[in-house]
């Protein structure tokens, strides 16, 4: 058996159904020969986004794999690898042979070059180690703190015969449980707290611990706030939900964070960045995380538990038992603040103004779609801030949050990968005109592969987030953008429409979803207003 054929068979044994790829790479034919479908992208950064979407929308139950030629193909992949590394997503990256001789300048060494943005990496330098290294790659993809790994497959080695019999066995996920003494200490602190807030991250999603998180929140009578990547870890139709927080959030999220005496970080690194929940100073921090290096990294930590989020939650629930924490009517206060907040934003959400108000579009999406049947994501910048507070995610996987690195354009690949892994879901990506300028040609990838995704482009003709930093340069129109993206999408084979009247959106959405159901991608371009306000309190 050739090495590439053995690797392809191991990938299939690990449950890989799609090889996201950009030729030239010998692994592609080996995978296609045994039924692993190749999805050829237009550019490598988007290919990484598609692989990310497969992994992220299934929370690691299915691993996205991206393979590309060595040299320039691997070089073009770097930004996408950096994106998934920032969000701790398990993606397998498989470059082909290097251009030029190994260890001879200027040959690009992907294993070493990707080292700062991967969890683990290796080169298959000899045929007899191929299956061993595939096994080690999947171990790192499934266990511990997650992240991308790189496994280089040189063409000359891939074409060789693998010695011995094929004896690959799929890798099992290994989880670690908490120290009982830590559990007792944390349970006591939580029961004694006056106004705790649970700050939940994507570790809850990857461990499949939503039910347990709900149970703990109800025992503690504690509101739950999630990170961007953790949105959906706690159902946002639950009375104790504060939604997710980036720069923007629901009014109740700001209110309860300010009055909290204890913040319980669950399945989150508690990393400080502009798009993480902003924890005010002076709070007592309890941190439950899989990675010891997270503890005390950003905040003085009063108590901590190391372990898988689900196992930690189960241990806390068992320790608390029947000792429910008494407290005020938290759910009633959340409901009151939500009604107050929605009333304050009603004029934005129902606006008839032209250019179109982006919040009107998000509200129309809310009223027309069942969130349980939708996977939605956004691009970096304004669409993220507009969507996150108002879109209710009611099940794990219904929303794909991302953005510590915040690369413009990542959402398009992400939603294609989500559609591959979840063909029965309505898959929607919201992006701005700057974002589509980065990756728009890959709409043709969705067309060619019959991926019925919906892209909504907010075209406000400007780089809104950058305009304030281009005061003098604006004399040269440095922040201005232009284009008819609906025509671009039509030229690439998608169904598309350009809208200037907000009342036309609902009929256009219905038509777009019909096209999606027939396997045709759709794009709705919104001629949007330039200025918007944040939901900040």
Q: What is the pLDDT of residues 15-73, one digit of tens each?
A: 999 999 999 888 999 999 999 999 999 999 999 999 999 999 999 999 999 999 998 99
Cα gap 19→73, rounded to integer Å: 15
pLDDT at 520: 98
Q: How far is 128 from 205, CA to CA, in rounded Å?
A: 37
Stretch (H or E) spanning 137: helix 130-142
Per-residue pLDDT reduced to its tens digit, 284-335: 999 999 999 999 999 999 999 999 999 999 999 999 998 877 778 999 999 9
Q: How confident is the model at residue 345 (pLDDT cuts 50, 70, 90)?
A: very high
| Burial (Cβ within 10 Å: 0-12, 13-18, ≥19) of residue 395 | middle
pLDDT digits (tens, 9 = 90+) for 243-264: 999 999 999 999 999 999 999 9
Mean pLDDT of 464-479: 83
- In this prediction, residues 465-485 reach a mean pLDDT of 87
Q: Which residue has the tokens 């304004």?
A: 382
3-state secondary structure of 174: coil
Domains and CATH numbers, the chain: 3-158 (3.40.50.970), 180-334 (3.40.50.1220), 345-527 (3.40.50.970)
- Please state which of the ranges 90-104, 119-133, 311-325 shows the lowest mean pLDDT: 90-104
pLDDT at 103: 60
Q: Using the 8-state DSSP alphabet, how is residue 150 labeled?
A: E
Check residue 403 and give its pLDDT. Answer: 82
Per the model's pLDDT, the better-predicted residue between 464 and 522 turns out to be 522
Bridge partners (DSSP) of residue 265 are 199, 287
Residues 125, 146 contacting (CB under 8 angstroms): no
Residue 479 is predicted with a pLDDT of: 86
pLDDT tier, 75 (very low <50, low <70, confident <90, very high otherwise): very high
What is the pTM for the complete model shown? 0.96
Of the candidate ranges 147-161, 209-223, 454-468, 492-506, the one whose mean pLDDT is the lowest: 454-468
DSSP assignment of 8-72 equals HHHHHHTT--EEEEESS-THHHHHHHTT-EEEE-SSHHHHHHHHHHHHHHHTTSS-EEEEE-STH
Strand order in the sheet with 149-152: 37-40, 18-22, 64-68, 91-95, 149-152, 120-123
DSSP state of 84: H
Mean pLDDT of 482-499: 97
Whether the CB-CB separation of 2 and 33 falls below 8 Å is answered with no
Q: What is the pLDDT of residue 191?
A: 95
């Amino acid at each position: 058996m050739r090495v590439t054929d053995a690797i392809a068979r191991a990938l299939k044994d690990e449950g890989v159904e799609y090889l996201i790829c950009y030729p030239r790479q010998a692994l592609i034919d080996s995978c296609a020969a045994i039924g692993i479908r190749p999805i050829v992208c237009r550019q490598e950064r988007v290919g990484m986004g598609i692989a990310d979407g497969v992994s992220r929308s299934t929370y690691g139950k299915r691993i996205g794999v991206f393979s590309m030629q060595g040299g320039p193909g691997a070089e073009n992949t770097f930004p996408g690898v950096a994106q998934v590394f920032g969000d701790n997503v398990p993606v397998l990256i498989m470059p082909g042979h290097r251009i030029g001789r190994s260890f001879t300048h200027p040959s690009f060494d992907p294993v070493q070059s990707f080292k700062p943005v991967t969890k683990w990496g290796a080169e298959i330098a000899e045929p007899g180690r191929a299956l061993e290294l595939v096994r080690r790659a999947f171990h790192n993809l499934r266990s511990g703190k997650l992240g991308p790994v790189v496994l280089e497959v040189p063409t000359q080695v891939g074409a060789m015969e693998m010695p011995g019999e094929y004896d690959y066995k799929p890798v099992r996920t290994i989880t670690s449980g908490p120290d009982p003494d830590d559990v007792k200490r944390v349970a006591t602190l939580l029961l004694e707290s006056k106004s705790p807030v649970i700050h939940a991250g994507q570790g809850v999603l990857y461990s499949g611990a939503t039910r347990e998180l709900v149970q703990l929140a109800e025992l503690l009578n504690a509101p739950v706030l999630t990170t961007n990547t953790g949105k959906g870890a706690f159902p946002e139709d639950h009375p104790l939900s504060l939604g997710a927080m980036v720069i923007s959030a629901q009014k109740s999220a700001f209110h309860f964070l300010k009055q909290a005496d204890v913040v319980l970080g669950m399945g989150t690194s508690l990393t400080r960045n502009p798009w993480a929940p902003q924890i005010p100073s002076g709070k007592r921090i309890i941190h439950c995380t899989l990675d010891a290096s997270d503890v005390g990294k950003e905040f003085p930590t009063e108590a901590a538990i190391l372990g898988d989020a689900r196992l930690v939650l189960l241990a806390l629930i068992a320790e608390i038992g029947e000792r429910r924490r008494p407290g005020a009517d938290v759910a009633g206060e959340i409901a009151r603040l939500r009604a107050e907040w929605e009333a304050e934003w009603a004029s934005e959400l129902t606006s008839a103004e032209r250019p179109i108000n982006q919040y009107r579009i998000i509200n129309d999406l809310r009223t027309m779609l069942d969130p349980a049947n939708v996977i939605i994501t956004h691009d970096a910048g304004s669409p993220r801030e507009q969507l996150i507070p108002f879109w209710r995610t009611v099940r794990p996987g219904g929303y794909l949050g991302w953005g510590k690195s915040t690369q413009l354009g990542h959402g398009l690949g992400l939603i294609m990968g989500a559609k591959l892994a979840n063909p029965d879901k309505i898959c929607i990506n919201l992006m701005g005109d700057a974002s589509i300028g980065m990756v728009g040609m890959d709409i043709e990838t969705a067309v060619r592969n019959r991926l019925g995704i919906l892209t909504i482009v907010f075209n406000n003709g400007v780089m809104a987030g950058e305009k304030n930093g281009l005061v003098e340069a604006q004399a040269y129109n440095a922040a201005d953008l232009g284009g008819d993206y609906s025509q671009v999408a039509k030229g690439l084979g998608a169904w598309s429409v350009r809208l200037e009247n907000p009342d036309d959106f609902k009929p256009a959405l219905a038509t777009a979803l019909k096209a999606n159901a027939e396997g045709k991608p759709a794009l709705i371009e919104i001629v949007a207003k330039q200025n918007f306000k944040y939901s900040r309190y």
